Amino acid sequence: MIVIDYFHWPKQGEWRFDPTYWPDPEAMVRELKEMGIELMVSIWPTVDVESENYEEMLEKGYLIRTDRGLRFAMSLHGNVIHYDATNPEAREYVWEKVKQNYYDKGIRLFWLDEAEPEYSVHDFDRYRYHTGANLQVGNSYPVQYARGFYEGMEREGQKQILNLIRCAWAGSQRYGALVWSGDIYSSFSSLRNQITAGLHMGLAGIPWWTTDIGGFHGGDITSDSFKELFIRWFEYGTFCPVMRLHGDRIPKQPMQGTTGGASCLSGADNEVWSYGEEVLAICKRYIAIRERLRPYIRLLMKEAHEKGTPVMRPLFYDFPQDQATWDQTFLYMFGPDLLVAPVCESGCTEREVYLPAGETFLNVWTGEEADGGRALSVSCETDRIPVFVRKNPSLLKDWKSIF
């Protein structure tokens, strides 16, 4: 399924389609569904001081309070303050706005951005929520933010609820949270951080995890070094719980208008065909692999739902008796059958891969067989991420037809 990020507000906090852009949004949503495309709407929990909703929300106590200074937390296209997601009445108020302007028009997916919440000045002792001081309860904000949408969608009878969200905390998984790692920098060091973060998230009980493939900030689509990073990240993304391409690329494009989304500078093109034929061929190869992996991933997601089993997990999760697996950092199991070793350094054509003891593994690209309990030096040309499959897989019996 293709997801479109739609992001345009006349004023932050008004939560509606702009009729200038979409005179008949319901027809647009229907047409997209007929094409097999599911529209996702990006929502921020911020309310502009000039929003039509601001005074009402202020009077009813639906906004985060400030102990000192002016009542705004960020200056982003205006002065904004976040709504208080820890207040159940505020969650209901926001959901009713979203329902009226989006859900009732056919939208069934939401991109819940800015879920930390983020402040221009990080004086965390300044902010107060319905449930207490920010220093005491601030980490619960993303849980309650996701909860407001989940419970609203559930009341409407929706059974399968999943929303993309920029932050999470203990319990977020109860509310259909698909977490991505935020606006990260485009670098190999950042890619290494994502591998570690994704494994930690899974062990923390939040199996739905994704990153901005290629990173968010700083990726120049004309740069050969960034193209290499993009390929390596794309290969890694193929073996993440959710494979997702996103980023604010450079060089920036000229401003196209003075209102709404057109009043912002746009990033450079970021489709898989934006990087030249060589990159496109590699991306197409891995998209096809991901598509053929769909039945396997469905089984992993089912297990994650029923048992909380991480989709991607450290080697020691499946091989706890092998002490060497506890020291392995930048490789992991994708489900019980695939061992994945992302390439995390520029110019790398060979990397070391440790295979856990007590198992025999097969290199999915060459078919070569190797006993576990030792490290191998594995070829990893630009178009190839080292992946091994257990010789006797429990779920992925047809792996040869996938790779």
Catalytic residues: 113, 116, 183
Signed CA dihedral, 294, 355, 215, 227: sign only = negative
Phi, psi for 340 (deg, rounded to 5): -115, 135
Signed CA dihedral, 11, 12, 15, 20: sign only = positive
CA distance readout (Å), 270 to 122, 154, 164, 282, 333: 32, 34, 19, 15, 29
Structure tokens at 63: 């906004």
Residue 215 contacts residue 223 (beta carbons within 8 Å): no
- Max Cα-Cα span within the chain: 68
> What single letter denotes the amino acid at residue 319?
F
Cα separation, 254 vs 264, in Å, equals 9
